């Protein structure tokens, strides 16, 4: 999990990648998790333009008064 989310140290990364290269089952499981993560990333929603404009308008107003 930590390798999937890039939380491993360089040493841990190296060790895990070595294990992935030599263990087909581990590699298969890891690739399945990558695929799910990729889908999760692509399933993001976009807020409406109106909501974004409201935020920018507020930030701009505050900027002018500061």
Interacting positions 12-51 with another protein (CB under 8 A) = 12-14, 17, 20-21, 24-25, 27-28, 30-48, 51
Kindly state the smallest distance separating residue 22's Cβ from another protein, in Å. Answer: 11
Say how many C-beta atoms besides its own lie within 10 A of residue 4's C-beta: 13
Q: How many residues bind another protein (CB under 8 A)?
A: 48
Q: How many CA atoms are closer than 13 Å to the CA of 9, on its beta-carbon side?
A: 2
CA-to-CA dists, residue 58 to 27, 36, 48, 61, 64, angstroms: 48, 37, 16, 5, 10
The greatest distance separating any two alpha carbons of the chain, rounded to the nearest whole angstrom, comes to 61
Kindly state the smallest distance separating residue 5's Cβ from another protein, in Å. Answer: 6
Note the residues at the interface with another protein (CB under 8 A).
Answer: 1-2, 5-10, 12-14, 17, 20-21, 24-25, 27-28, 30-48, 51-52, 54-56, 58-60, 62-63, 66
């Amino acid at each position: 999990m930590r390798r999937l989310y890039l939380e491993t140290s360089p040493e841990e990364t190296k060790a895990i990648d070595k294990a992935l290269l030599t263990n087909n089952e581990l590699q298969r499981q890891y690739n399945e998790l990558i695929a799910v993560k990729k889908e999760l990333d692509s399933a993001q929603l976009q807020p409406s333009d109106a909501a974004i404009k409201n935020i920018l308008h507020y930030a701009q107003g505050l900027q002018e008064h500061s």
